[in-house]
Amino acid sequence: MLSIVKSLKQKLSKSKSSLIDKIAETVQAHGVIDDEMFEEIEEILIKNDTGTDMADLIIERLKQDLRRDRIKNPEVVKIYLCDVMQDILMQDVPEDDDFFALPDIKPFVIAFVGVNGTGKTTTIGKVANRFAKAGKKVLIVAGDTFRAAAIDQVAIWADRAGVDILRTEPERDPASVIYEGVAKAVAKAYDVVLIDTAGRQHTKDRLMKELQKIDRSIKKACADAPHETILVVDSTTGQNAISQAQHFDEAIKLSGLALTKFDGTAKGGIIFNIKHNLQIPVRLLGVGEGIEDVENFHTVQFVRAFLDRDETGE
């Protein structure tokens, strides 16, 4: 557990130094606890994508706690801030939420959706690899049929992960290809099906309707599937993530989010924004371009890594 926190910490080092450390620096430079200091903290939070409502909430709670304990020393502010942020993230969170611990459902069907270029195909490759390593029989369905290159790309990931793929000629109707894939998984006793879909703008009605068709064809092949529908969100997109999630959730009921490119963002605050605005849990974090670079989003570990806390919670 400690080593997971450490390695996550390294991967998140960019995000960490730019939020909590920046706040600590600001507070220290400021020297006294006053309104100006709170404004500066709030500004940093908003710049880091927490959203204004969430930034307000954090600041209000911080003020309350500092007042309650009659804190006058600015050096202690960081500790109080970490506590407030930790409390907010940990509210209503189930313990030990492991994406890779499959329930007793076979095949377990997971659809990946999202806007263009967010990392759907890459995430599927990483997830396939994890399941394959755990001894699961995995089928990837190449449901992004718009471009031949997309089919080749997901085939390369299937090969790397050492799992099977159902692929067709390009330009076939994605819903029918996906139907074939899920039906094959049912017939051949696969443990897990990972469905790749084409990137689509959440504001385009026609593409959102196509998602509904895909959902229906998955259900035709396996009545209670998809068991998970994961929206893959690029964590560097900031506020737009919320609107993406709302639109996709209307078209195809989402069960969770995968936040990719967390290694490259200086703005870890998006996690707080999501917590405030969506009822959809973050399940996976993408922390690099390699096949191993996926982590369970485990709130406790994340909070420790992100807010620079170690095992003892100090």
Ligand X SMILES: Nc1nc2c(ncn2[C@@H]2O[C@H](COP(=O)(O)OP(=O)(O)OP(=O)(O)O)[C@@H](O)[C@H]2O)c(=O)[nH]1
Is the Cβ of residue 80 or residue 157 nearer to Mg ion in the bound state?
157
Report how far residue 274's alpha carbon sits from residue 88's, in angstroms, rounded to the nearest whole number.
11
Q: Which residue's C-beta sits nearest to Mg ion?
A: 121
Q: How many CA atoms lie within 13 A of 209 on its CB side?
A: 3
Residue 65 CB, nearest distance to ligand X (Å)? 34
Contact residues: ligand X, CB under 6 A = 114, 116-122, 144, 150, 199, 232, 260-261, 263-264, 286-289, 293
Is the Cβ of residue 84 or residue 287 nearer to ligand X in the bound state?
287
Question: Residue 210 binds which one of ligand X, Mg ion, none, with CB within 5 to 8 A depending on kind?
Answer: none
Question: Tokens 């759907």 — which residue?
Answer: 120
Is the Cβ of residue 56 or residue 238 nearer to ligand X in the bound state?
238
Residue 283 CB, nearest distance to ligand X (Å)? 14
Is the Cβ of residue 86 or residue 121 nearer to ligand X in the bound state?
121
Report how far residue 176's alpha carbon sits from residue 214's, in angstroms, rounded to the nearest whole number.
8
Listed in sequence order, the residues at least 6 apart from 101 whose beta carbon sits closer than 8 Å to its beta carbon are none
Is the Cβ of residue 123 or residue 299 nearer to ligand X in the bound state?
123
Residue 282 CB, nearest distance to ligand X (Å)? 13
Residue 112 CB, nearest distance to ligand X (Å)? 8
Question: Tokens 């709670």 — which residue?
Answer: 61
Residues touching Mg ion, count (CB under 5 A): 2
**R_g over Cα of the chain:** 21
Task: For residue 97, give the amino acid letter.
Answer: D
Is the Cβ of residue 32 or residue 149 nearer to Mg ion in the bound state?
149
Question: Residue 260 binds which one of ligand X, Mg ion, none, with CB within 5 to 8 A depending on kind?
Answer: ligand X
Question: Residue 114 binds which one of Mg ion, ligand X, none, with CB within 5 to 8 A depending on kind?
Answer: ligand X
Residue from the set 121, 217, 244, 299 that interacts with Mg ion by CB under 5 A:
121
Residue 260 CB, nearest distance to ligand X (Å)? 4
Question: Residue 298 binds which one of Mg ion, ligand X, none, with CB within 5 to 8 A depending on kind?
Answer: none
Task: For residue 313, give the amino acid letter.
Answer: G
Task: For residue 221, give the amino acid letter.
Answer: A
Asked if 273 interacts with Mg ion (CB under 5 A), we say: no
Q: Which stretch binds Mg ion (CB under 5 A): 33-41, 47-55, 74-82, 112-120?
A: 112-120
Sign of CA dihedral 43, 44, 47, 52: negative
Residues in touch with Mg ion (CB under 5 A): 120-121
